[in-house]
């Protein structure tokens, strides 16, 4: 009998990027459509820290400063496409903001002026951030 690995969730990263008195959200190019925290899948052989830096640069053009792990989100229903577990980070963005890769548009929103069509569980993540980090 040979061993085969169990079916497991996909590992992803997301980041709450503080930039110009707000946070960065991206308008998704592919379904599910709407606004989301920038993020993506961790490549095999890549650390989550390297993955978040890569994904943020690809989707926003920003480099990350003061990168900190925020929380892990693992609800099997958090992504309608498949079961993902996301390691979420916070950071300050450095550079010129521009959408790229899977992001049609990258834009800064104030925490009290977020769009209504936020994808995945990113609304909950932002609420947790507002409560824990921003002190609301």
Domain of 87, in residue numbers: 11-132
Q: What is the pLDDT of residues 33-74, one digit of tens each?
A: 999 999 999 999 999 999 999 999 999 999 999 999 999 999
CATH number, position 46: 3.90.79.10
103 beta partners: 28
pLDDT at residue 31 tops 90: no
H helices within the chain, ranges in order?
48-60, 122-132
Q: What are phi and psi of 74, to 5 degrees?
A: -135, 10
pLDDT score recorded for residue 135: 60
Region 112-117: what's the mean pLDDT? 95
Q: Which of 11-15, 60-64, 100-104 has the lowest mean pLDDT?
A: 100-104
Number of domains in the chain: 1
Residue 32: is the preceding peptide bond cis (ω within 30°)?
yes
The answer to whether position 2 is within a domain reads no
In a domain, 3, yes or no: no
Q: Is 120 within the bounds of a domain?
A: yes
Residue 17 in domain: yes
> Considering the domain boundaries, does residue 58 fall inside one?
yes
Residue 73 CA to chain centroid, in angstroms?
11
Instruction: State the sign of the Cα–Cα–Cα–Cα dihedral 3, 82, 128, 51.
Output: positive
Identify whether 6 is part of a domain: no
- Are the C-beta atoms of 53 and 63 separated by less than 8 Å? yes
**Structural domain contains residue 127:** yes
Whether 5 is covered by a domain: the verdict is no
């Amino acid at each position: 009998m040979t061993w085969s690995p169990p079916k497991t969730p996909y590992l992803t990263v997301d980041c709450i990027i503080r930039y110009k008195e707000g946070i960065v959200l991206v308008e998704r190019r592919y379904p599910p459509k709407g606004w989301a925290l920038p993020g993506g899948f961790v490549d095999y052989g890549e650390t989550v820290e390297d993955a978040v830096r890569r994904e943020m640069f690809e989707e926003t053009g920003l480099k990350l400063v003061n990168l900190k792990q925020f929380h892990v989100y693992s609800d099997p229903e958090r992504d309608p496409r498949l079961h993902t577990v996301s390691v979420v980070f916070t950071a300050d963005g450095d550079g010129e903001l521009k959408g790229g890769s899977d992001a049609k548009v990258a834009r800064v929103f104030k925490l009290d002026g977020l769009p209504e069509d936020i994808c995945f569980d990113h609304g909950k993540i932002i609420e947790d951030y507002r409560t824990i980090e921003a002190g609301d």
